[in-house]
Amino acid sequence: MCLAVPARVKSLTHETARVEVGGVIREVSTMLTPDIQVGQYALLHAGYTISVLDEEEAKRTLHLLEELEESLA
């Protein structure tokens, strides 16, 4: 099974972005989302932003992932 998680774009360079997921900053490729902007949320999978997400949808998904994590603890 594959999982893509919402990540917020903190900064951009040519074809890479620094994104935040759960307080962790990672550098990822934006080749698949060339129009992404700083501050937007994207689905992150295998080191790539694969689509841009609406902020409300991203926050709702992050909340559901947190609930899932709590239920497994």
Question: Hey, where are the domains in the chain?
Answer: 5-72
pLDDT along the chain (73 residues), means of 10: 89 95 94 96 95 94 89 83
- What is the phi-psi region of residue 63: left when phi exceeds 0, alpha when psi lies from -120 to 50, beta otherwise? alpha
pLDDT of residue 57: 94
d(CA 71, CA 44): 23
pLDDT of residue 72: 86
Class of domain 5-72: mainly beta
pLDDT of residue 45: 95
